[in-house]
Structure 1
Amino acid sequence: MQISEIDKSDADDILARSESHFFDFKSKRIQPAKLSRSLSAFGNAEGGEIYVGIEDPSVSGPRWDGFVDEEAANSVLAVLQDLFPSGETFSYRFIRCVDYPSLVLSCEVFKNQFIWKDSQGDVYLRRGAQSLKQDSFEKQERLRLNKGIASYEDSKVDMTAEELATSEAFLGFYGVIVPRAEPVSWLKKQKVAREDQATVAGLILFADEPQAVLPKAAIKISRYRTSDEPTRATLEGQPSTIEGCAVVLIKDTVDRIVETVERIPVMKNSGLKSVQYPRNAIHEIITNAVIHRDYSVNDDVHVRIFDNRIEIYSPGPLPAHVTVENILDERFARNQKIVRLTNKFPDAPNKDVGEGLNTAFQAMRELQLKDPIVSQVNNGVLVTLRHEKLAEPEQAIINYLRTNDEVNNSKARAVTFIGSENKVKNIFRKMMTAGIIERIPGRSQAKTGYMKGPNFPSS
């Protein structure tokens, strides 16, 4: 197994950390069965790190008290590799510091889409600094829903398949689908009706008023006249409630947000202007919130519009292996039927399946606005659109040259989010005239580059 050498400052940084939702210390004397509980707990939550061979801060004596050699950890490793094999979810290595003469076993756990059991066959979940046993059907079912192993969209609701097949929303959709079958048979074949009852997916997609059966499937829009934290005093009027089937819900919500935002004044050089956000960025994020939310969570999607930002909160944590760090690259649909069938509508809100957030990021950049912020809060996902400009193109190029020897047109387009070569050429000309940059001599036109000029700002 890999042994990583670290210096004393890195070792002391580890020792200075506190046990938390993502971090734990374990004594080298821990029973492998007990350690397996912690691996199960981290594997079933958002992942984290466990260091075996570091004593709890409350223990007297040296805290860095690891294994004398690799063989001394064999009994621990045998259990871990058997139950939690190294790979995409679990990674193991020894770390050694010359100032602390023993090996500490570092166990790194990554967020994943599986449920992990300890050596006794029990399921644990990390919450705060505790590993909690999931000893009831309800707890394990909630874990399965959070992981995306099960989806609430398959649950039956209090509406018959016949009622769903006669709704206006379904009939409008049914008129354009090919090939066509008898309505109830089609619903059953698409798995949005079971045993003559509609499912959550069928309700959300095709019922005229899904919220009559599933009340917390609406979208609440609140306008706050502030750039700070929301308070009752800064709330403008009463929050709006948008209802309807998925495609109607998305369209009406986007229209209402755009209408509300355009009434927010912002001071420009030429006077007061309306705030602008790219409509397609709002559309893509609202679409994601509707089709990917966890419908088992008893809460609406919430949109909060502030003077300087829009916050969109969708109930349910990111499923499976998706994290806020990899969300633009990874794909996992919690509600696969809702996603698939929404895409079949004539004017599908999710035309480019899987590209929603990427489209939102690109749309913000095209308006020279900062990237959306994605975070997990209160068992849900929060996306924040900020009305904050990116650095001016000239400043972005200056910032790049502070840490790089040269810049060319391609690199400048990447850091300024400008797609046009000619626009960047004009920016380069202005910066050369000002003496901020100068052309690197002796280069062919195809390899043109620029370096700091005599008037390049020192800070």
Structure 2
Amino acid sequence: MSIRVVNIPTSEAAKVLSVEEGHFSDVKATEIAPSSLTKTLAAFANADGGEIYIGIAEISGSDGNRKREWRGFQTQEDANGHIQIFETLFPLGGEHRYEFIESDGYYGKVLHVEIDKSIAIKKASNGKIYKRRGAQNIPVNSDDDIKLLERTKGITSFESETVRYPVSELLESSPTSRFMNHQIHTNTPEAWFKKQMLIHGDLPTVAAVLLFADEPQIALPKRSGIKVYRYRTSDLEGTRKNLAFDPITIEGALYDQIFSAVDQVVTIVEETKVASKDGLSEIQYPREAIHEIITNAVIHRDYSIPDDIHIRIFDNRVEVESPGRLPAHITPENILDERFSRNAVIVRLINKFPDAPNKDVGEGLNTAFDAMKSLKLKSPEILERPNSVLVNIRHERLASPEEICMEYLETHDEINNRTLRGLTGIGSENAVKKVFLRLIDGKQIERIPGRQGSASAYRKWTGGTEETTA
């Protein structure tokens, strides 16, 4: 099979030569042994994916410093050993792509390889497991580290671990009673729990305690609650000084947690006022978006990590941060299209409760995005952090800041930086200054003469030649 060869301009070749080796990228000389290459391939696949350029050599210059040279393969056949390794590591043909790139004036063809985050754990040809961290391929040796990687991949789940919690209390709890009354069954609660493999020996599983205990937090402290914060600021980070009140802790079984957290957040949000063209008005977030994002955080978080879910309510946004990275092959880019449940038992059984919080299984985030769009607000932003996932729900309209500014001036004589920040949800004063400058350059607005510093304001352009600094 012929491999695609792409001829790139010299300017792009220079970029390849200057690729910074890091968490998502690496360069290798053609002389690298295919077996050694598998360490990097496996490390990328076991972490977040990445790309490798094979055919970039590092040599010592006359000044003693290392520099790079483009030294590609003379023919495609010369790279056969490396390509065969790809097929061995990724036998089903997915999770990787490759092509040759060449450029006029540079020697040979560089093999460009893209590696996706893999579903399964990949081993190098020496039988060892590696994971990419920064620019290094780190061996994963200990049983605990391998178990953690398995959970990250979704191969195993903490929800199946057992907990020292009295089975009798679980069987007689309020959540169990409500749940069983809603089911069509002929079994006793204990028989049903055992049939669902929620009890192993004399101990319940993590999933059983989270779903059916009156207070799961007794058995699973610091890993099964929700904290709600209200910060009176639009800054990137909240601080103690702008915390409106002590954080609210929400506990109980997962079903109750979800509905309590949604009610709490909606109540706090409705008390928040922002600037609008008609003066101060309540923030409007669709309840469906808040509900789906909180539900998603509760049922998909990594319960092996001893931390709570954190919901932070700012003047211009709501942040929902859940412990654990995205599982298996899920990324922020494909999360709306792909499906994978880290906690398959929790997802399945909470759906059997009356008025299930995950009524449309697999559609939660899509519903949240659609709900935001229906109010003409920007879509939620999903960020993957080193040990958590952050969903940012911004009170930021789909209209451009410039459009919002001119719309406001249709019914008001003037506008200032603070007002436009409130209207748009933009947290940065400098970013809003740039909006004003663009409108001044376009002769849409002008600065009101004689107003300086915090009193500065702008009005519709009158045709004058006033100062244009924002």
TM-score, length of structure 2 as denominator length: 0.81
1:35 aligns with 2:37: yes
| Separation (CA, whole Å) in 2 of partners of 1:320 and 1:88 | 14
1:154 aligns with 2:160: yes
Aligned match of 1:44: 46
Task: Give the SS at the match of 1:253.
Answer: helix
Aligned match of 1:107: 113
Q: 1:326-345 maps to which residues of 2 (within 5 A)?
A: 326-345=334-353
Give the aligned CA root-mean-square deviation in angstroms: 1.9
Aligned match of 1:97: 103
| Separation (CA, whole Å) in 2 of partners of 1:109 and 1:83 | 11
Aligned match of 1:141: 147
Range moving further from structure 2, 11-20 or 113-122 = 11-20
1:11 aligns with 2:13: yes
| Separation (CA, whole Å) in 2 of partners of 1:367 and 1:75 | 55
Task: Give the SS at the match of 2:306.
Answer: coil
| Separation (CA, whole Å) in 2 of partners of 1:62 and 1:202 | 57
Q: 1:135 to 1:62 in 2, by over 3 A?
A: closer
Q: 1:236-251 maps to which residues of 2 (within 5 A)?
A: 236-251=244-259
Aligned match of 1:382: 390
Q: Does structure 1 conserve the Cα–Cα contact (< 8 Å) formed by 2:58 and 2:67?
A: no
Counterpart amino acid of 1:111? K
Q: 1:186 to 1:58 in 2, by over 3 A?
A: farther
Q: 1:12-411 maps to which residues of 2 (within 5 A)?
A: 12-56=14-58, 60=66, 63-85=69-91, 87-215=93-221, 216-228=223-235, 229-391=237-399
| Separation (CA, whole Å) in 1 of partners of 2:280 and 2:67 | 66
Task: Give the SS at the match of 1:28.
Answer: coil
Q: Deviations over 1:188-244 (max 9, x none)?
A: 111222112111111111111111111121000111110002112111221111001
Q: 1:35 to 1:159 in 2, by over 3 A?
A: same
Aligned match of 2:431: none
Range moving further from structure 2, 304-313 or 188-197 = 188-197
Q: Deviations over 1:124-144 (max 9, x none)?
A: 000111100001111111000
Q: Does structure 2 conserve the Cα–Cα contact (< 8 Å) formed by 1:161 and 1:187?
A: no
In the alignment, structure 1 segments of 5+ residues that lack a partner are 397-459
Deviation at 1:58, TM superposition (A): 6.6
Q: Does structure 2 conserve the Cα–Cα contact (< 8 Å) formed by 1:25 and 1:56?
A: no
Q: Does structure 1 conserve the Cα–Cα contact (< 8 Å) formed by 2:175 and 2:214?
A: yes
Aligned match of 1:442: none
Q: Does structure 1 conserve the Cα–Cα contact (< 8 Å) formed by 2:10 and 2:104?
A: yes
| Separation (CA, whole Å) in 2 of partners of 1:199 and 1:84 | 35
Range moving further from structure 2, 164-173 or 266-275 = 266-275
Q: Does structure 1 conserve the Cα–Cα contact (< 8 Å) formed by 2:87 and 2:93?
A: no
Task: Give the SS at the match of 1:157.
Answer: coil
| Separation (CA, whole Å) in 1 of partners of 2:248 and 2:284 | 21
| Separation (CA, whole Å) in 2 of partners of 1:89 and 1:338 | 28
Task: Give the SS at the match of 1:63.
Answer: strand
In the alignment, structure 2 segments of 5+ residues that lack a partner are 405-470
Aligned match of 2:409: none
Q: Does structure 1 conserve the Cα–Cα contact (< 8 Å) formed by 2:198 and 2:207?
A: yes
| Separation (CA, whole Å) in 1 of partners of 2:307 and 2:67 | 50
Q: Deviations over 1:368-395 (max 9, x none)?
A: 1111001101311100110111117x96
Counterpart amino acid of 1:349? P
Q: Does structure 2 conserve the Cα–Cα contact (< 8 Å) formed by 1:7 and 1:97?
A: yes
Q: 1:5 to 1:173 in 2, by over 3 A?
A: same
Task: Give the SS at the match of 2:69.
Answer: coil
Deviation at 1:112, TM superposition (A): 2.3
Q: Does structure 1 conserve the Cα–Cα contact (< 8 Å) formed by 2:59 and 2:67?
A: no
Deviation at 1:264, TM superposition (A): 1.0
Q: Does structure 2 conserve the Cα–Cα contact (< 8 Å) formed by 1:162 and 1:196?
A: no
Deviation at 1:33, TM superposition (A): 1.6
| Separation (CA, whole Å) in 2 of partners of 1:331 and 1:86 | 20
Deviation at 1:283, TM superposition (A): 0.3
Aligned match of 2:444: none
Aligned match of 2:414: none
Q: Does structure 2 conserve the Cα–Cα contact (< 8 Å) formed by 1:167 and 1:208?
A: yes
Q: 1:253 to 1:373 in 2, by over 3 A?
A: same
Deviation at 1:272, TM superposition (A): 2.1
Aligned match of 2:418: none
| Separation (CA, whole Å) in 2 of partners of 1:160 and 1:342 | 21
Deviation at 1:118, TM superposition (A): 0.5
| Separation (CA, whole Å) in 2 of partners of 1:384 and 1:313 | 9
| Separation (CA, whole Å) in 1 of partners of 2:164 and 2:59 | 54
Q: 1:5 to 1:187 in 2, by over 3 A?
A: same
| Separation (CA, whole Å) in 2 of partners of 1:227 and 1:57 | 50
Task: Give the SS at the match of 2:296.
Answer: helix
TM-score, length of structure 1 as denominator length: 0.83
Counterpart amino acid of 1:46? D
Deviation at 1:81, TM superposition (A): 2.2
Task: Give the SS at the match of 1:345.
Answer: coil
| Separation (CA, whole Å) in 2 of partners of 1:222 and 1:254 | 13
| Separation (CA, whole Å) in 2 of partners of 1:51 and 1:358 | 36
Q: 1:173 to 1:94 in 2, by over 3 A?
A: same
| Separation (CA, whole Å) in 2 of partners of 1:58 and 1:360 | 54
Q: Does structure 2 conserve the Cα–Cα contact (< 8 Å) formed by 1:302 and 1:314?
A: yes
Counterpart amino acid of 1:210? P
Deviation at 1:61, TM superposition (A): 6.0
